[in-house]
Copies of this chain bind each other. A is one copy, B any other.
Amino acid sequence: MTDHRTNSAAGPPSAFGSDLHLELRGSGLRAGLTHALREAVRTGRLAPGTRLPASRSLAADLGVSRNTVTEAYAELVAEGRLTARQGSGTRVADRPGQPRGAAPAASRATPARPLPRPRPRYGLQPGAPNLADFPRTQWLAAARRALTAAPHDALGYGDARGRVELRTALADYLARARGVYAEPERVVVCSGFHHGLMLMARALRARRVPAVAVEAYGLDIYRDLLTDAGLRTPPLAVDEHGVRTDDLARLRGVGAVLMTPAHQYPTGVALRPDRRTAAVDWARAGGGLILEDDYDGEFRYDRQPVGALQGLDPERVVYFGSASKSLAPGVRLGWMVLPEDLVPEIVAAKGYGDYMSSALEQLTLAEFITSGGYDRHVRSMRLRYRRRRDELVAALARRAPDVHVTGMAAGLQAVLELPPGTERSTVEAAARHGLAISGLTEFRYETADPGGQLPERDALVVNYAAPSQSAWAGALDALCEVLP
């Protein structure tokens, strides 16, 4: 989350913050806020690509409810003036959409496709794998084999846990590749981590859990999902050994903790063994649950893979994985491996049926895994991403030797530590060079450090995996150009 309010005296002034100037007009607060934001975008006062403050911050600044802000944002997103994407918050669209209210008859006759928007030339923001390397041919071949072999009733309404072919394939794969204790009966298919966490939040609320602890660095969309479900989200500090699970016992009313033990997102460290143990001990002592987001567990470069925490105690750890990093987010398939007693509660949270995930896609992924295509793809991408990472490290050593790189033993991104106070100006300089990039501050939980005890940490989170082969050299060059 971008929250520059705490350092506005020292750092560069924020586009928003306590010095926000938005004239609220119109009948209601929401209409007024929407109008003011729309005008700010239309007139260019808020430039394309500008990240807007978190809804909570802006609501506090303006003295309005958070709903008012989220609804105003939503309206402008729908109008195409703002964008809201995973990992990059709400931003001003590169090219704001056409104003609405055009004559319906005209827009009916020529269905308005959104105009292609000019984008930054290069993008290194975290979130997606290399989409150009999606194995289209192999995926289509698996789809053909799967659909040809499927019984007719596979196309009907499905088991709430997902297709048994996929649950069986995943149970085998996860046990082998990630050390997960998995049986098909405790695997539940979902539409990605977002959906899995939503189901989990519902189940936790049904258990009357009041709070889920989260890492002080992470994605705001997941914190928001939990708070929208009525759960408090007290933060746990993150340092160079991962999340401080030893602090769990000090938090009140926490029934679960959401964490990324194999590769903290986005700082990139693996959780130190004693902290893994501390988390499991905490869960056992108080009946808590560990929600393990193993978003990129397949991609490990320098050492033995860090096995899933779930293997330590399958009745206290919920394992989440997905195809979003290993294949592509657009596949929209994820999986949970659940403690046995949670299965019925998640089935209930799903509404006792599989109303979300395509049976065809589930069968295709099952076939892709069992035929060995998934392993081959992951191995191939691991080599490519490792090469990319090595190229990044080599280029930085040559052209920006003072920049310290961390969090690069695994995954799709690295963290480039910057001199204090230079993160924001670096991100802005990159934007002027046509390079879209994320500062670490974007991922900082705004309420994690109300007292300001934690040291500020200026850094960039660089996704070296995503650029296509043709864009990579240019992106790397632009990055080196703008580093302080």
Q: Which residues of B contact A354 (CB under 8 A)?
A: 332
Q: Per-position contact with B for A346-364: 1 when CB-CB < 8 Å, else 0?
A: 0110011111111111000
> Are B71 and A112 in contact, CB atoms less than 8 angstroms apart?
no
List residues 347-397 of chain A with CB under 8 A from any CB of chain B: 347-348, 351-361
Residue A306 at the B interface, CB < 8 A?
A: no
Which of B156, B329, B353, B358 meets A155, CB within 8 Å?
Answer: B329
Q: Chain A: interface residue count, which band?
A: 35 or more
The answer to whether A104 has its CB under 8 Å from any CB of chain B is: yes
A78-B343, A143-B140, A157-B128 known; A111+B195 contact, CB < 8 A: no
Q: Does A100 have its Cβ within 8 Å of any Cβ on chain B? A: yes
A477 an interface residue at 8 Å Cβ cutoff? no
User: Does A330 touch B at the CB level, under 8 Å?
Assistant: yes
Residue of B nearest to A194 (CB): B355
Mark interface residues in A119-143 (1 if CB within 8 Å of B CB, else 0): 0000000011001101010011001
Q: Is A456 an interface residue (CB 8 A)?
A: no
Give the complex CA separation of A85 and B71 in angstroms: 35
Residues of B within 8 A of A345 (CB): 71, 74
Closest-CB distance, A101 to chain B (whole angstroms): 9
**In residues 50-84 of chain A, which contact B (Cβ within 8 Å)?**
67, 70-71, 73-75, 77-78, 84
Q: Is A114 an interface residue (CB 8 A)?
A: yes
By a CB distance below 8 angstroms, the chain B residues around A353 are 84-86, 194, 221
Contact present for A328 and B155 (CB under 8 Å): yes
A206 on the B face (CB < 8 A): yes
Minimal Cβ-Cβ distance residue in B for A352: B84
Q: How far is the CB of A408 from chain B (nearest CB, A)?
A: 23
A7 lies within 8 A of chain B by Cβ: no
Please encode chain A, from 137 to 155, with 1 for each CB lying within 8 Å of some chain B CB and 0 for all others: 0011001100110001111
Would you list the 10 A-B pairs with minimal beta carbon distance, nearest first? A330-B359, A155-B328, A74-B344, A194-B355, A75-B344, A84-B352, A155-B330, A74-B348, A131-B152, A78-B344
Residues of chain A having any CB pair with chain B under 8 Å: 67, 70-71, 73-75, 77-78, 84-86, 90, 100, 104, 107-108, 111-114, 127-128, 131-132, 134, 136, 139-140, 143-144, 147-148, 152-158, 160-161, 164, 168, 171-172, 175, 181, 183-185, 191-192, 194-195, 206, 221, 224-225, 328-333, 340, 343-345, 347-348, 351-361, 468
